[in-house]
Amino acid sequence: MKWSGLTALLLVHAAIVLGGVYVMLTAFGDELERELDDQVERVERGFERDLERIQERIERQLDERLPPPVAVP
pLDDT of residue 1: 59
Assess if residue 49 is contained within a domain.
yes
Show pLDDT as tens, one digit a residue, over the chain (73 residues): 578 888 999 999 999 999 999 999 999 999 999 999 999 999 999 999 999 999 999 999 988 888 877 877 7
Q: Count up the domains in the chain and report the number.
A: 1
Question: What value, to the nearest 5°, has the Cα angle with vertex 22 and ends 18 and 23?
Answer: 120
pLDDT of residue 70: 81
User: Could you list the residue range(s) of the whole structural domain that residue 27 is in?
Assistant: 20-62
**Residue 73 DSSP label:** -
Assess if residue 3 is contained within a domain.
no
pLDDT of residue 64: 85
Assess if residue 48 is contained within a domain.
yes
pLDDT of residue 27: 98
Q: Whole-model pTM? A: 0.61
Cα separation values, 4 from 9, 10, 12, 47, 65, Å: 9, 10, 12, 63, 90
